[in-house]
Amino acid sequence: MSINIAVDGPAGAGKSTISRGAAKELGFIYVDTGALYRAVGLNALRLGIDTKDAAKVGAALAGTEVELRFIDGEQRVFLNGEDVSEAIRAPEASMAASNVSAIPSVRSFLFELQRDIAKNNNCIMDGRDIGTVVLPGAEIKIFLTASPEERALRRYRELVAKDVPAEYEQVLEEMKQRDFNDSNRAIAPLKPAPDAVLVDTTGYALDEAIALVIKLIKERLD
């Protein structure tokens, strides 16, 4: 029987990096569900579809194939056979992901894919509603957070490191808007599961945050 660890939290909380580091240490696979929504959002952008138009986004799903492949232990995201792992990290893909994730047909489209991966693997899966909706029976649930200012600074530095033009104030504004969108959507809003452990990484260096989460997981698995 597989062991599932659910990690939820707002944009920029370090979920991906921390979950990936913990998964590597524990020998689990890491599943970034946000990447799936980014891929659907990117697909809509490429098709010239308004990512808030539920009918058009939903209609486009019929011709859309999103797949996670694990290559040398690293998750890669494929959209209609193309590796879009880098393309989905652009700022416009982030907002597109936030918009399409509020659409019920998109959530249904990706739901079984996420469940199947968890059923067949020991995994750490991160997202916005993993502990509350996707894997409510997960053995361990963690809600990762940090202040909006710190999360925006992390995202800004990440973009600059990738030579993506960015302004800190704009990143912060987009971060706050995404927090509002994710927390107030009608379908599967961002919120901690009742049995989740809250982990605030404000002020933590990345390696410290990873070590903290690994320690928490090991204690709970024991």
How much is the pLDDT for 1?
81
pTM of model > 0.75:
yes
How much is the pLDDT for 70?
84
How much is the pLDDT for 58?
96
State the Cα–Cα distance between residues 92 and 63, nearest whole angstrom: 22
Neighbours of 186 (CB within 10 A): 7
How much is the pLDDT for 151?
93
| Length of the chain counted residue by residue | 222
Question: What's the fold here for domain 4-217?
Answer: Rossmann fold (3.40.50)
For residues 199 and 143, the answer to whether their CB atoms sit within 8 Å is: yes
State the Cα–Cα distance between residues 199 and 125, nearest whole angstrom: 16
State the Cα–Cα distance between residues 81 and 103, nearest whole angstrom: 24
How much is the pLDDT for 178?
87
State the Cα–Cα distance between residues 216 and 79, nearest whole angstrom: 34
Rounded (5°) CA angle 117-122-126: 65
**Interval 158-188: pLDDT, tens:** 889 988 889 999 999 999 998 998 899 888 8
Question: Which residues of the chain have a pLDDT value below 70?
Answer: none
Write the CA distances from 208 to 35, 97, 136, 201, integer angstroms: 24, 29, 28, 9
